[in-house]
Structure 1
Amino acid sequence: MNGAVVRRTQESLGRVIRKPPLTERLLSKPPFRYLHDVIGEVRRRRRRRW
């Protein structure tokens, strides 16, 4: 995966979530559970704002 894409993802998602960690290795080839945790955390954060 392109390093610029990983950095942009880390910057944008890093503003929203703290866990799980947004490391380059995990973002390059994410396991299913990692994606599940990231999406769940984004949904939880979004729900708290509204």
Structure 2
Amino acid sequence: MNAAVVKKTQETLGKVIKKPPLMEKLLSKPPFRYLHDIFMEVRRNSWDFKIA
């Protein structure tokens, strides 16, 4: 993945989430669990409702 894309992703998502760490190695070739953790953290921090 392009280093500029990784940097932009770190800057953008870094404003919304703190965990999991947005490391270049993981963002370049992310495992499924890492993507899942990012999605769940964004959902938890961004949406006004919670799913039980």
Tell me the TM-score range normalised by the shorter chain: over 0.9
Q: Which runs of 4+ in 1 moved over 6 A?
A: none
- Calculate percent identity across the aligned residue pairs: 69
Partner of 1:32: 32
Q: From the two aligned structures, give the one with the greater helix fraction.
A: 1
Structure 1: which 5+ runs fail to align?
Answer: none
RMSD, matched Cα: 0.7
Larger Rg: 2
Q: For this pair of structures, how many residues does the alignment match?
A: 48
Report the TM-score when normalising by structure 2: 0.89
Distance in 1 of aligned mates of 2:24 and 2:39: 17
Q: What TM-score do the two structures reach when normalised by structure 1?
A: 0.92
